[in-house]
């Protein structure tokens, strides 16, 4: 990945939490704006059989009349599958820091350019919220988790899919990226949600997870 090689930190160790300064926010936005042209690594579509998609669909269940938020939605590939499967949903909306990524998000999906650490959205506005491989870029992780839970209704469901900190160093990463330990993110989400669990997942349901990807599931 061009953009990854350019900004690879090279240390192989997660950096201590950086503050999301306006300068860092600008660099992250510009990096993903540039990556939006890279359809190979940032595709518009996703195979709905991939377990990451299936897990979200199964955990959320029937979305008729429900409002769903995809945080760090990129080109909206997950949201597109949810909208196709649940045409009676009330709203499926994506937030992303990159307007170039959001340019690929089309109706019936709604798009909102913002950082997930400061959502311009009302409290308890959504029945379901999810973030796939985006929290790892949020820098101020506590703030991002607080925000995703703030916009979730009491009783609403949350899914976070990200990479396991125990595998840090196996992929090139930009200097702001962070991966998570299972218990660490469970603890953070538990500040805002009644129930939290986590599980290892792989791309395909019948393939044993290799430990790289984790899913955290919570109910507020």
Ligand X SMILES: C[S@@+](CC[C@H](N)C(=O)[O-])C[C@H]1O[C@@H](n2cnc3c(N)ncnc32)[C@H](O)[C@@H]1O
Interaction of residue 201 with ligand X, rule CB under 6 A: no
Q: CB of residue 197 vs ligand X: minimum separation in angstroms?
A: 21
In the complex with ligand X, which residue's Cβ is closer, 157 or 163? 163
Best CA proximity match to 94, nearest among 106, 109, 81: 109
Contact 28, 3 (CB under 8 A): no
Q: Which of residues 82-101 bind ligand X (CB under 6 A)?
A: 95-98, 101
Interaction of residue 32 with ligand X, rule CB under 6 A: yes
- Which residue from 133, 166, 186, 219 is in contact with ligand X, where contact means CB under 6 A? 133
Contact 3, 177 (CB under 8 A): no
Interaction of residue 116 with ligand X, rule CB under 6 A: yes
Best CA proximity match to 131, nearest among 167, 158, 101: 158
In the complex with ligand X, which residue's Cβ is closer, 25 or 166? 25
- Which residue from 77, 86, 163, 178 is in contact with ligand X, where contact means CB under 6 A? 77
Structure tokens at 120: 């311009």
Quote the distance between the C-alpha of residue 1 and its chain's center.
20
Diameter of the chain measured on Cα atoms: 47
Interaction site with ligand X (CB under 6 A): 28, 32, 72-74, 77-78, 95-98, 101, 115-117, 132-134, 137-138
């Amino acid at each position: 990945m061009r953009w990854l090689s350019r900004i690879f930190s090279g240390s192989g160790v997660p950096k201590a939490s950086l503050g999301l300064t306006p300068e860092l926010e600008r660099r992250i936005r510009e990096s993903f704006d540039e990556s939006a042209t890279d359809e190979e690594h940032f595709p518009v579509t996703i195979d709905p059989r991939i377990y990451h998609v299936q897990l979200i669909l199964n955990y959320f269940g029937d979305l008729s009349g429900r409002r769903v938020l995809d945080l760090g939605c990129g080109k909206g590939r997950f949201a597109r599958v949810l909208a196709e499967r649940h045409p009676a949903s009330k709203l499926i909306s994506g937030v992303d820091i990159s307007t170039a990524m959001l340019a690929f998000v089309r109706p019936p999906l709604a798009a909102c350019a913002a950082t997930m650490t400061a959502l311009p959205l009302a409290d308890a506005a959504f029945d379901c919220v999810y973030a796939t491989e985006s929290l790892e870029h949020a820098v101020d992780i506590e703030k991002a988790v607080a925000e995703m839970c703030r916009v979730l209704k009491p009783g609403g469901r949350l899914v976070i899919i990200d990479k396991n900190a125990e595998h840090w160093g196996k992929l090139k990463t930009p200097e702001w990226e962070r991966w998570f330990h299972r218990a660490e993110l469970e603890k953070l989400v538990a500040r805002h949600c009644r129930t939290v669990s986590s599980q290892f997942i792989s791309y395909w349901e019948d393939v044993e997870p290799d430990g790289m990807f984790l899913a955290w599931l919570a109910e507020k």
